[in-house]
Amino acid sequence: MSIDKTLKIRLGLSGSRNVLSRGERIARLLEEDRFAVGRSPFGLPKVRVQKAIAGKKKKKTPEEVAAAAAAAAPAAGGKGKK
């Protein structure tokens, strides 16, 4: 029997997760020098998971706006009425 297409997960685990596995937490702690090699893997401190944020668009300067308008003007002028 097949699974109905509405029940399938499209992206799976491709999104960001907010929980790390024990191995991932230990690797992150080792990078931050917060974990000793011989230490017990139980009772680990919390590790913050930073979510990726899309960058903000830069505001265009007045010169860039004028240049974009000048570049668009000849292209629009070629259509003309018949």
pLDDT tens track for 53-74: 777 777 878 888 888 888 887 6
Which tokens belong to 26?
């230990």
Domain assignment of residue 28, yes or no: yes
Domain assignment of residue 81, yes or no: no
Domain assignment of residue 36, yes or no: yes
pLDDT tens track for 2-33: 777 777 766 555 566 788 999 999 999 999 99
DSSP 13: T
* Residues spanned by the domain of 38: 15-48
Domain assignment of residue 43, yes or no: yes
- Residue tagged 């991932």 (tokens): 24
Q: Looking at the 3D structure of the chain, how many domains does it have?
A: 1
CA dist 51 and 53 (Å) reads 6
82: confidence class by pLDDT, cuts 50, 70, 90: low
